[in-house]
Chains A and B, each alone.
Chain A
Amino acid sequence: EIVMTQSPATLSVSPGERATLSCRASQSISINLAWYQQKPGQPPRLLIYEASTRATGVPPRFSGSGSETEFTLTISGLQSEDFAVYYCQQYSDWPPRTFGQGTRVEIK
């Protein structure tokens, strides 16, 4: 099973600043990685797939990068609606599909 590890667990950022979230895979997954945003009381929302492709309707301030085992989600110019929990997920291997434990982006 591929283990996904996200860091940090919590990120405190001021509105307008940049947030950088990390996700590491326990073995190479090429670019088979997705990122999700989840707000309280809502299901997750797909942001990025194939490590760097934005899903439909996702603003360009969200960008993904990386390959193999190291991945980054960058949110440039954080807006109030961006404070949420973010998860990475690998789809290189299954079963199972696996998620990271999440990074909470909170207002500083």
Chain B
Amino acid sequence: QVQLVQSGAEVKKPESSVKVSCKASGGLRFAINWVRQAPGQGLEWMGGIIPLVGTTNYAQQFQGRITITADKSSNTVYMQLSGLTAEDTAYYYCAGTGNWFDPWGQGTLVTVSS
């Protein structure tokens, strides 16, 4: 069964960038998406990548700030978000497949604070 394991929690300064990783056991045979959840809030899709072809799609509200990449040699997908503000404080999840999302990573808490 495929599992997604994410990198650990991060604390960042405003205006800096964060890069979160998501390692897939068994290879990158399906799309990987990124979904975030601010404290006490709902789920927000950020973007996704099809690693086999490198195709990416991003939510409009993150265009220009987000970059999703894949390293097929290490079965790892990365999500980089720049221009951080306090409003970017959230749990960031990777999730597999391009339609419904399954499996999910355990989540990475990113805290943006001066």
* 0/1 interface trace, chain A 53-96, chain B, CB 8 Å (1 if under): 00100000000000000000000000000000001010100111
Query: Does B33 contact A97, Cβ atoms closer than 8 Å?
Result: yes
- Residues of A contacting B48 in the complex (Cβ-Cβ under 8 angstroms): 94, 97
Is residue B16 within 8 Å, beta carbon to beta carbon, of the partner chain? no
Contact A95 B60 (CB under 8 A): yes
Residues B99 and A49 in contact, CB atoms below 8 Å apart = yes
Residues B106 and A43 in contact, CB atoms below 8 Å apart: yes
Please, how many residues of chain A have a CB less than 8 angstroms from a CB on the other chain?
23
* B interface size (C-beta, 8 A): 23
Shortest CB-to-CB span from B43 to chain A, Å, is: 4
Shortest Cβ gap from B18 to chain A (Å): 18
Partner of B42, one of A43, A49, A87: A87
Interface residues of B (CB under 8 A from A): 33, 35, 42-45, 47-48, 57-60, 93, 95, 98-102, 104-107
Closest CB pairs A-B (n = 9): A34-B100, A43-B104, A46-B102, A49-B100, A91-B99, A97-B45, A99-B43, A96-B59, A95-B57
Q: A44-B35, A49-B100, A94-B48 are in contact. List 18 more A-B contacts (CB 8 A).
A: A1-B60, A34-B99, A34-B101, A36-B101, A43-B107, A44-B43, A44-B101, A44-B104, A46-B101, A87-B42, A87-B43, A89-B43, A89-B100, A95-B47, A95-B60, A97-B48, A99-B45, A102-B43
- What would be 20 A-B contacts, judged by CB atoms less than 8 Å apart? A34-B99, A34-B100, A34-B101, A36-B43, A43-B106, A44-B43, A44-B101, A44-B104, A46-B100, A49-B100, A50-B100, A87-B43, A89-B43, A91-B99, A91-B100, A94-B48, A95-B47, A95-B59, A99-B44, A101-B42
